[in-house]
Structure 1
Amino acid sequence: MSDENDKKQPDYGLVSELDGTDSTLDTIKALVVADHQHDIKLRTMSWQKTACLLAGEQVCLAIMAQSWSLSVLGWVPGIITMVLSGSLFWITSITMHKYIMKHPYIMDICDFGYYVFGQSKAAYVFSSFMMLANNILLVGFHVLTGAKVLNTLSDHSLCTAIFSVIATIMGIAMSAPRTLQHISLMSMFSSACMGIAIILFLVFAGIEDAPFYGSHGNYPTAGPVRTYAFPLPGTTWVACMNAVLNITFLWVPQILFPTFISEMEKPQDFPKALAVLTGISTILFIVPSAIGFHLLGQYSTAPAFGSLGVVAYKKASFGFVIVPTLIIGVIYANVTGKFIYTRILGKSRHAHSHTITGWGVWGLIMIGVWVIGFVFAEIIPSMGDFLSLLGAGFDSFFGFIYFAVAYWQLYRGSLFSDLGRTVMTLIHVFVMVVGLFILGPGLYAAVEAIIADYSGSVTPAFTCANMAI
């Protein structure tokens, strides 16, 4: 690749396509060697550290909303949605990895979109906007969650807006590391804390005589706790669609994967880390959710901690969530910050050296990302509805549509060459259909839920109201 090409297209990733495995591995080795000559080395993660990072991003509070999804959908549609989402997650993630191995210069989902759609600058700009909007909204979600945790633990001892400020400041401070390898160490602690929170919740829900409240009212207004195979009579299509989006949102983290892969020393080992994540996710996403639904039934709420009747139980279990809340916010902030950072400093020495300018720009970007996230956390009425909006508006592309197109790009001309290829082609056609369905009817359902929230009692912006669970 010439210096002239570097100057003309610094923002769009790979300029030449590499088809052979040997040439791809040689290119990866060259990229690692070049990276290790810098003061700040990015391509340093092993697959084990990548697995920790993946687990830290996936083992999150959204797990505790899945019992509510089951309470809306019932056992049969709920479990089918979970298993199907997990299967498509594995298949689409492998497709992504194969595509990135063919294009090893890809650094983020924006580069991925640029090449998948025929080296389209419009696709790059669209992907960039979508990534920034998705990630900053998720930073805001974690600011709001942090405020909820602090409200719950302190019995609302301060104004909620103040708690949001505290969570924002903590997030900015934790976002100082510029490499994902450092954040992967935090992720191990994050996963452990979320695991403890889940175990404590299940223990407390099991020893309680009855839950406190849920989507069907305070206990026992909806009768004894019970579970059911299909949605209860009167359940709306919008509620069912939002429950499905809640599940798919949990299984669609691929927007971050290209960045993770780009910081691996051996990106060809990514499937090993992915296998670890898939095993962990399958257990944590389904088993606690099923047990929670069994114990709470129609009184399940999101997050499930809110259904606990004893305040001490809520505090003891929900308190551990503050760690994964902040660290996952840091992961999204880091990926967002790297994208903006590269756009500002390009390939100058400040981008990869310990300079005042480099660290100053990084600090300002992190402050900006978290402050904007804080504003979103304060002005939106229901983060639950916004998670559905994120799932419909963003994950439809970054979890399904992009990878169906990537598969076509990888295998066009041989889509039906044999039985195995034909089966995989049909699966990716289904992936595209799912993505379009989530984007269309799913987005409609998410917007309808937000409209319903605004038509009711809306929490004012920058409120001091108690937001404890």
Structure 2
Amino acid sequence: MAATYSEEKQYPDEEKKISIVVDGVDSDGESIDTITALVQKDHTHEIKLRTMSWQKAAWLLAGDQICLAIMAQTWSLSVLGWVPGMITMVVAGIMFYITSMTMHKFIMKNPQIMDICDFGYYVFGKSRVAYHFTAFMLLANNILLIGFHVLTGAKIINTLSDHSMCTVVFSVIVTLMGIIMSLPRTLKHVSFMSMFSAFFMALAILLFLIFAGKEAAPGYGYNGDYPTAGEVKTYAFPPKGTTWVACMNAVLNITFLWVPQILFPTFISEMERPQDFPKSLAVLAGISAFLFIVPPAIGFRYLGQYATAPAFGSLGVLAYKKASFAFVIVPTLVIGVIYANVSAKFVYFRIMGKSRHAHSNTIVGWGVWAAVMIVIWLVAFIFAEIIPSMGDFLSLLGAAFDSFFGFIFFAVAYWQLYKGNLFNGAGRSAMTVFHIIVMFSGLFLLGPGLYAAVEAIIADYSGATRPAFSCKNLSI
């Protein structure tokens, strides 16, 4: 059996020799032996991490992906129109699935990978610079996303309570709930929460579609209340006057939804059989293909140019808006918990190292875990309060970070897997060309995409902005 790997090291084991996995098939079984050794070592600990089945991993993936961002896709269609919008959605979905499979193959070649930082370390030739750069992006991306969910939770409570209290108070309530829900240390337990998260988000989407079809007309759009912008209409291409910045931000909005791979290495590392991850991914791909395209398309059909992000805000009847938006509080909290868990694990194991407290039910171990989680949520709370337009900053994240975590990393991983064999046969050549396109897509998001995101922030800041720690009503 292959030698075991010390998961507590700051960097992955550079001396480990593991055979290449091509198309999911291990050449001599050594990688499978290594996985078995890693699982056996983990199961000697008091707190066992590598315990998820592929079914639980599928629920975890679904809980992360079935989110409020789905309800922003109708707005993307209203900017891009049917043809560019649907093409972007389908292409993004195809890229997501294939690059996720490339990630899995690379991790099967290097099963000691525990998170996206380890992945970046190996992909870029065991570079410690890449490791630390990826660590910064992981924490910045995740904590800002947690902050976005704190703000979203406050917005939901604002809407339901008719702004009965200061918005900061609502943000504090959401933050405290997030901290409590984040205390479980294994993703197996978090996956249980994800079942409820996915269910309630799906219910919110269903209610929105029913209400959008039932009411006579939408109530509000970014161009004014109905019928300020005329009768509801849809269109094949961007309407006249649509700016390039608006189109680019609509594209970023779509790619942001389809790029959750920053969490996948951590998910895979806590599976009892990481080789089964493609089963979980297939379930997620099927669910995502339906929910990311069909509800937004129906929403665009009924809202047209009055679509907002999220689309709940366009509903004309207040009772409809509250009834559908209310259920989003569950996925808002649970998705925040998922990002907090991944972030806290990275920090926690850097602090605890090889200490027995790292994997044991000790006062020190749980105390440090709770402290790390509290700090993460508090920093996220501060970002939620001081950033005037969190939506614009998410576009900035999508351009700056998703360009790496959704595209560039996996194009390089593919090259590492198949270098010297890139054009061996028609199938391999086609996949090589595909990953070249993936690389250029990532570079495009990093260049023009980042420019568009910055321009949107500048435009928003030129007008009135929400002051820090504001009591302003954020109801949709």
User: TM-score when scaled to structure 1?
Assistant: 0.98
Distance 2:38 2:155 in 1: 43
- Note if 1:300 corresponds to 2:300: no
How has the CA–CA distance of structure 1 residues 95 and 2 changed in structure 2, closer, same or farther, with 3 Å as cutoff?
closer
- Note if 1:66 corresponds to 2:73: yes
Give the one of 148, 151, 175 matched to 1:168: 175
Question: Within 5 Å, which residues of 2 pair with 1:235-250?
Answer: 235-250=242-257
Distance 1:17 1:292 in 2: 52
Residues 138-163 of structure 1 show CA distances to partners (whole Å, capped at 9, x for unaligned) of 00000000000000010000000110
2:129 is matched with which residue?
122
Distance 2:278 2:441 in 1: 24
Q: What displacement does 1:17 show?
A: 3.4
* 8 Å contact kept, 2:3–2:37: no
2:285 is matched with which residue?
278
Give the one of 243, 246, 265 matched to 1:258: 265
Question: Within 5 Å, which residues of 2 pair with 1:120-269?
Answer: 120-269=127-276
**Aligned residue identity for 1:285:** F
**Aligned residue identity for 2:365:** G
Instruction: Give the SS at the match of 1:48.
Output: helix
Distance 1:257 1:364 in 2: 25
Give the one of 341, 360, 372 matched to 1:365: 372
Instruction: Give the SS at the match of 2:47.
Output: coil
Give the one of 395, 399, 419 matched to 1:392: 399
Instruction: Give the SS at the match of 1:255.
Output: coil
**Aligned residue identity for 1:380:** I
1:459 is matched with which residue?
466
Distance 1:401 1:18 in 2: 24
**Aligned residue identity for 1:12:** Y
* 8 Å contact kept, 2:308–2:314: yes
**Aligned residue identity for 1:216:** N
How has the CA–CA distance of structure 1 residues 2 and 282 changed in structure 2, closer, same or farther, with 3 Å as cutoff?
closer
- Note if 1:444 corresponds to 2:451: yes
* 8 Å contact kept, 1:14–1:106: no
**Aligned residue identity for 1:209:** A
Q: What displacement does 1:12 show?
A: 1.8
**Aligned residue identity for 1:437:** F
Q: What displacement does 1:14 show?
A: 3.8
Distance 1:184 1:218 in 2: 41
* 8 Å contact kept, 1:14–1:104: no
* 8 Å contact kept, 1:92–1:399: yes
Structure 1, unaligned runs of 5 or more: none
Q: What displacement does 1:2 show?
A: 8.3
Instruction: Give the SS at the match of 1:280.
Output: helix
2:23 is matched with which residue?
none
Distance 1:445 1:10 in 2: 40
- Note if 1:50 corresponds to 2:49: no
Residues 262-313 of structure 1 show CA distances to partners (whole Å, capped at 9, x for unaligned) of 0000000000000000000000000000000000000000000000011111
* 8 Å contact kept, 2:178–2:333: yes
Question: Within 5 Å, which residues of 2 pair with 1:5-154?
Answer: 10-15=9-14, 16-19=16-19, 21=26, 22-154=29-161
**Aligned residue identity for 1:257:** F
Distance 1:14 1:69 in 2: 44
**Aligned residue identity for 2:223:** H
**Aligned residue identity for 1:13:** P
Distance 1:241 1:108 in 2: 30
**Aligned residue identity for 2:86:** I
How has the CA–CA distance of structure 1 residues 294 and 71 changed in structure 2, closer, same or farther, with 3 Å as cutoff?
same
**Aligned residue identity for 2:381:** F
Instruction: Give the SS at the match of 2:32.
Output: helix
* 8 Å contact kept, 1:67–1:289: yes
Structure 2, unaligned runs of 5 or more: 21-25
Instruction: Give the SS at the match of 1:226.
Output: coil
Q: What displacement does 1:221 show?
A: 0.8
1:403 is matched with which residue?
410
* 8 Å contact kept, 2:3–2:34: no
2:320 is matched with which residue?
313
Residues 296-350 of structure 1 show CA distances to partners (whole Å, capped at 9, x for unaligned) of 0000000000000111111100000000000000000000000000000012111
Residues 42-76 of structure 1 show CA distances to partners (whole Å, capped at 9, x for unaligned) of 00000000000000000000000000000000000
Q: What displacement does 1:218 show?
A: 1.4
* 8 Å contact kept, 1:14–1:103: no
Instruction: Give the paired residue count.
Output: 467
Residues 430-457 of structure 1 show CA distances to partners (whole Å, capped at 9, x for unaligned) of 0000000000000010011111111110
Residues 213-248 of structure 1 show CA distances to partners (whole Å, capped at 9, x for unaligned) of 112221101100000000010000000000000000
* 8 Å contact kept, 1:381–1:453: no
* 8 Å contact kept, 1:17–1:102: no
CA RMSD of aligned residues (A): 1.3
How has the CA–CA distance of structure 1 residues 240 and 316 changed in structure 2, closer, same or farther, with 3 Å as cutoff?
same
**Aligned residue identity for 1:373:** A
* 8 Å contact kept, 2:114–2:265: yes
Distance 1:193 1:357 in 2: 36
Distance 1:300 1:98 in 2: 40
**Aligned residue identity for 1:10:** K
User: TM-score when scaled to structure 2?
Assistant: 0.97
Instruction: Give the SS at the match of 2:293.
Output: helix
Further displaced range: 326-335 or 16-25: 16-25
